[in-house]
């Protein structure tokens, strides 16, 4: 079950919310205690857990059957788990022996699940968030933002493509990825650009050699990271002037996402050999849109998640990470301030340490979606900005995990 939870990249709190939405009860303290202590959860908890992890009903039933087999493997024990998990306790006389037997059976089940996760085919429309590799790297100084460290000699190439947010985060993403020793970032960013500007379409504002297919053919990256807030206006001719939040807007971005995948695949075919692998295509999920929360929700959930693997960097600047309580719909609730993390307190990134127990600004006063606290020069943020560092670290950790 721990392997399944790790595969989904969902927290116990998120699993609890998903279970409640499906009409199940999955108290996070109960299931967390069960897994942490090697206890066998009640059948109804296993069922709710599997469903919250995204299993279909056939797979849920398979999990419940597996749980029964684990229970049956306990010597002399009926199908009853510990009282703290919602059912009668085992007798004290045989508790130690039964605990060891159940724990051994659970470990066998976990090994089986590892195989199941590895071979389970993707369901139609199902995507996965990239498994992150936590980086124990200090936040960058302003000097390191101005001049990120060079990548390691044999680091894998990473192409970072996008708009204004990509431009302002490029230095911080490069800093974290290069310090990991795993990747070498090349940023191809254009403030105000739409996704279609990087495609081979007639009204792109980029010259052919600056477009995605040419960049992939030249760089041969191990990963392509796509960061697009979803800009669309009369200044981006390739979008056809589709107004954000309208059906033509979403239809345009869906078509552009599909074309992006095709162009990357075609570019890879131009240099494919037995020794090469196709690049991982990673879509960055956007933070909340203060003016139109439904816009980035639909862009993320209906387009980027459908397009392929995703990095949920936007969650890091939303109320989803509010540490003191679960905020309903917090993933798409905009906020300018969030409680300071321990890392921010330790490294002078808590912008208002005496306000409300310590809060930090994740957006500047003058802009609702940019992350650089010096919004006057967002093209390349050289100011230590907490929101930008949160967002960039999330991208970098996913990239390193993908490499």
Average pLDDT over residues 141-161: 96
* Same domain as 61, residue 146: no
Strand 359-361 relative to strand 337-339, pairing: antiparallel
- Are the beta carbons of 257 and 307 closer than 8 angstroms? yes
pLDDT at residue 236, as a whole number? 86
* Same domain as 61, residue 190: no
Other Cβ atoms closer than 10 A to 100: 13
Closest C-alpha among 230, 241, 172, 176 to residue 203: 241
Cα separation, 46 vs 174, in Å, equals: 41
- Are the beta carbons of 281 and 264 closer than 8 angstroms? yes
In a domain, 291, yes or no: yes
Cβ-in-10-Å burial (0-12, 13-18, 19+) of 182 comes to: buried
Q: Indicate the Cα dihedral angle 68, 73, 75, 78, nearest 10°.
A: 10
Cβ-in-10-Å burial (0-12, 13-18, 19+) of 207 comes to: exposed
Cα separation, 42 vs 174, in Å, equals: 46
* Same domain as 257, residue 325: yes
Lowest mean pLDDT among 4-8, 93-97, 146-150, 226-230: 93-97
Other Cβ atoms closer than 10 A to 96: 10
Please tell me the total count of domains within the chain.
2
For residue 339, give the H/E element and its range.
strand 337-339
* Same domain as 180, residue 241: yes
* Same domain as 102, residue 147: no
Cα separation, 325 vs 321, in Å, equals: 9
Q: 337 pLDDT exceeds 50?
A: yes
Choose one of 104, 119, 134: the last residue of a domain: 119
In a domain, 127, yes or no: no
Q: Please report which confidence band the pLDDT of residue 107 belongs to, taking 50, 70 and 90 as the band edges.
A: low
What rounded mean pLDDT belongs to the chain?
A: 85
Average pLDDT over residues 251-277: 95
Average pLDDT over residues 116-143: 72
* Same domain as 211, residue 67: no
Place of tokens 């109320």: 319
DSSP for residue 129: B
131 vs 212: which has the higher pLDDT: 212
In a domain, 91, yes or no: yes
Q: How far is CA 127 from the centre of its chain?
A: 11
Closest C-alpha among 211, 149, 132, 166 to residue 392: 166
pLDDT at residue 377, as a whole number? 58
* Same domain as 284, residue 243: yes
Q: Give pLDDT tens digits for 310-326.
A: 999 999 999 999 988 88
* Same domain as 341, residue 225: yes
* Same domain as 154, residue 292: yes
Q: Give pLDDT tens digits for 342-390.
A: 999 999 999 999 999 999 999 999 889 999 998 665 578 889 999 999 9
* Same domain as 147, residue 109: no
Q: Give pLDDT tens digits for 193-237.
A: 999 999 999 899 999 999 999 999 999 999 999 999 997 776 789
Question: pTM for this one?
Answer: 0.70
* Same domain as 165, residue 51: no
* Same domain as 96, residue 35: yes
Q: Show the domain range for 37.
A: 2-119
In a domain, 129, yes or no: no
In a domain, 124, yes or no: no
In a domain, 337, yes or no: yes
CATH number of the domain residue 217 falls in: 3.40.50.1110
């Amino acid at each position: 079950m721990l392997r399944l939870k790790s595969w989904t990249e969902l927290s116990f709190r998120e699993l609890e919310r998903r279970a409640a939405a499906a009409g199940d009860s999955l108290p996070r303290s109960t299931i967390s205690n069960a897994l942490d202590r090697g206890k066998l959860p009640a059948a109804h908890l296993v069922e709710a857990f599997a469903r919250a992890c995204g299993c279909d009903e056939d797979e849920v039933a398979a999990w419940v059957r597996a749980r029964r087999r684990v229970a049956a493997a306990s010597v002399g024990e009926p199908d009853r788990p510990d009282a703290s998990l919602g059912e009668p306790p085992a007798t004290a006389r045989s508790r130690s022996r039964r605990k060891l037997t159940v724990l051994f059976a659970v470990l066998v089940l976990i090994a089986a699940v590892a195989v199941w996760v590895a071979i389970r085919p993707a369901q139609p429309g199902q995507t996965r968030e990239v498994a992150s590799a936590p980086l124990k790297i200090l936040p960058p100084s302003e000097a390191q933002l101005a001049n990120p460290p060079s990548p390691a000699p044999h680091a894998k190439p990473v192409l970072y493509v996008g708009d204004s947010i990509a431009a302002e985060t490029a230095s911080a993403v490069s800093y974290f990825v290069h310090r990991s020793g795993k990747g070498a970032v090349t940023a191809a960013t254009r403030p105000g650009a739409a996704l279609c500007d990087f495609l081979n379409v007639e009204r792109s504002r980029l010259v052919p050699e600056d477009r995605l297919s040419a960049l992939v053919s030249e760089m041969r990256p191990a990963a392509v990271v796509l960061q697009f807030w979803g800009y669309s206006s009369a200044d981006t001719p390739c979008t056809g002037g589709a107004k954000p939040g309208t059906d033509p807007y979403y239809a345009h971005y869906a078509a552009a996402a599909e074309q992006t995948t095709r162009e990357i695949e075609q570019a890879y075919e131009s240099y494919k050999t037995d020794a090469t692998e196709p690049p991982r295509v990673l879509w960055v999920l956007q933070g909340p849109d203060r003016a139109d929360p439904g816009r980035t929700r639909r862009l993320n959930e209906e387009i980027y998640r459908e397009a392929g693997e995703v990095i949920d960097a936007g969650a890091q600047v939303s109320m989803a990470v509010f540490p003191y309580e679960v905020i309903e719909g917090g993933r798409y609730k905009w906020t300018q301030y969030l409680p300071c993390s321990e890392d921010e307190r330790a490294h002078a990134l808590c912008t208002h340490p005496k306000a409300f127990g310590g809060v930090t600004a994740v957006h500047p006063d003058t802009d609702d979606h940019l992350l650089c606290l010096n919004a006057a020069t967002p093209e390349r943020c050289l100011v230590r900005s907490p929101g930008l560092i949160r967002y960039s670290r999330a991208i970098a950790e996913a990239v390193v995990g993908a490499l």
